[in-house]
Amino acid sequence: MKKLVFLFALVLTAGFAMAQNNTSTVSQEGDLNGATVNQAGLENGSVITQEDGYNTATVDQSGEKNASEVSQRTLSSTESNFVDVDQEGKSNFAKARQFNAKNSITIKQVGDNNWASSGMAQGASKTIVTQTGDDNYTYTYSTQGNTNQTVTQTGNENLATAKSAGGYNNAEITQIGDGNISGNNPFYQAAYGIDQDGAGNTADIKVYGNDNNTYEAQTGVSNAAVIKVGFQDIPTYESNLNNVSIVQEGDANQAMFGLTMGDENVSEIKQIGSSNYTEFGIKYGSYNSMKEEVTGSGNRTRLGVAASWGSSSDDNTVIITKTGDYNMVSGNITGDENDVTITQDGSSNHVGTTWYSRDGVSITGNMNTVDILQGTDGNMSLNSVVGNGNMVSVTQN
């Protein structure tokens, strides 16, 4: 059974042409269906519904107050659907939902006050959402399968979320501008971010700009979470007053935070499990705060605060708390008036600039403060300080 419904209104005159209040509705049942809708003007609307497999849908809308909703379904894991939505203007809405495997959704919006919602369940799916403008909102989700999710936003006050369940998924969010929010953040009560449940997943968020909130959460084993603020790549953007949070529960996970050129940023990482790895890095930044809480055994943390090329990294605060046995912390600090507090509660823990040398926190600069507290037995902490007015305190119980 196949049914097609097209509704449209087009007004033409001899001197000019004007398209307004256009509506296109396409409903198809069966396989190998294709639907293409092109609309230009104000207040356009398009709804496409297709059943079964190997269906394709393309929607192109230009103007203001456009709305498009596409839903496709395949009943076989070998059948593939494809959706492409392109909107340009203000107050646009695009929603595409697909069921079953090997699906692909691409949504592109240019303008203000746009928001896009994509879905997909099962299989090797791919989602790409690109928004350019202000006040954009993106929501994507995927359940099971090798899903790739990419969200790119350029502008101010954008919101982004990417959620996936299952193993070996990849989620990446890139935000350029100020006032962006990415993350369902338990520390700052933000609304959106990356949540993953399973094994071998990766989450990658890159943020340029100021006053951004970013959150990544992973549950499972062998997952990787990366958040870069200002990028530690080329080009480098100064980014200030950002909040970053990573929460991981499971074993053999990796959490990495990197800041290049920025002040007054706050990063918090929490890990529960064993054999996890954490890396903090600051280049050319001051008045930044880095906090880590780890519960488990055999966890490693690498700390780096660097300054060079005429730029300084001063007045930063680092607080690391580890509970468990055989945990390791290594640290290198270059700058002035930085505060580092390391607390290890358990046995056979050590603090060192490398994993096994046990030579402590290495400091080059002035007026830095390091407090190290280790409890129970078999712990080691040796430290190296070059500069003036530095203070190192080591307490072992």
Mean pLDDT of 118-142: 79
Tell me which amino acid residue 75 is. Answer: L
Helices (H) and strands (E) in the chain, counts: 0, 36
Q: In this structure, is residue 357 part of a structural domain?
A: yes
Can you give the pLDDT at residue 216?
A: 84
Tokens of 191: 């609304």
The sign of the dihedral angle between the CA atoms of 219, 194, 116, 32 is negative
Q: In this structure, is residue 137 part of a structural domain?
A: yes
Q: In this structure, is residue 196 part of a structural domain?
A: yes
Tokens of 300: 């490693």
Q: In this structure, is residue 260 part of a structural domain?
A: yes
Task: Judge residue 289's burial from the number of C-beta atoms within 10 Å of its C-beta, 0-12 exposed, 13-18 middle, 19 or more buried.
Answer: middle
Domains in the chain, number: 1
Q: In which residue are the tokens 């909040």 written?
A: 243
Q: In this structure, is residue 31 part of a structural domain?
A: no
42-46, 194-198, 306-310: lowest mean pLDDT where? 306-310
Q: In this structure, is residue 272 part of a structural domain?
A: yes
Q: In this structure, is residue 38 part of a structural domain?
A: no
pLDDT per residue as tens digits for the range 57-101: 899 988 888 888 888 887 665 677 888 888 888 888 888 888 776
Q: For residues 125 and 102, what is the distance between their CA atoms, to the nearest angstrom?
A: 5
**Residue 32 — φ and ψ, nearest 5°?**
55, 40
Can you give the pLDDT at residue 341?
A: 93
* Confidence check: pLDDT of 30 > 70: yes
Structural domain for 297, as ranges: 76-396
Q: For residues 89 and 99, what is the distance between their CA atoms, to the nearest angstrom?
A: 29
193 pLDDT band, cuts 50/70/90, is low
156-165, 270-279, 308-317: lowest mean pLDDT where? 156-165
pLDDT per residue as tens digits for the range 91-108: 888 888 887 767 888 888
Q: In this structure, is residue 1 part of a structural domain?
A: no
The answer to pTM > 0.85 is no
8-12, 169-173, 222-226, 375-379: lowest mean pLDDT where? 8-12
